[in-house]
Amino acid sequence: MTAVTPKLTPTQEQALQQIRATGEEFAYNGISRATVAVLERHGLVTVKWSVRTWTARRTYRSRSMCDWVARPAKGA
């Protein structure tokens, strides 16, 4: 039985090629969080997600930043 290749947009295909070429990609290197989520959902990459939260010293407001590291999935 052959695996079904998901249909990707040109942006998603370019991001997948970039991740495969470098071996791993980090957040804020030009690939959006939504694109990485789609690639992870299709099983093409594995992603380690993390959220950092801190409180601003002057305003005492909480700020959050989503970080991720994407690596090509084994066998994909």
3-state class (DSSP) for residue 15? helix
Q: Considering the entire predicted model, what is its pTM?
A: 0.79
| Percentage of the chain modeled with pLDDT above 90 | 79
Rounded average pLDDT over 43-62: 94
The mean pLDDT value of the chain amounts to 90
pLDDT of residue 75: 74
3-state class (DSSP) for residue 1? coil
C-alpha to C-alpha distance for 59 and 27, rounded to whole angstroms: 26
Residue in the structure block whose two tokens are 């090629």: 17
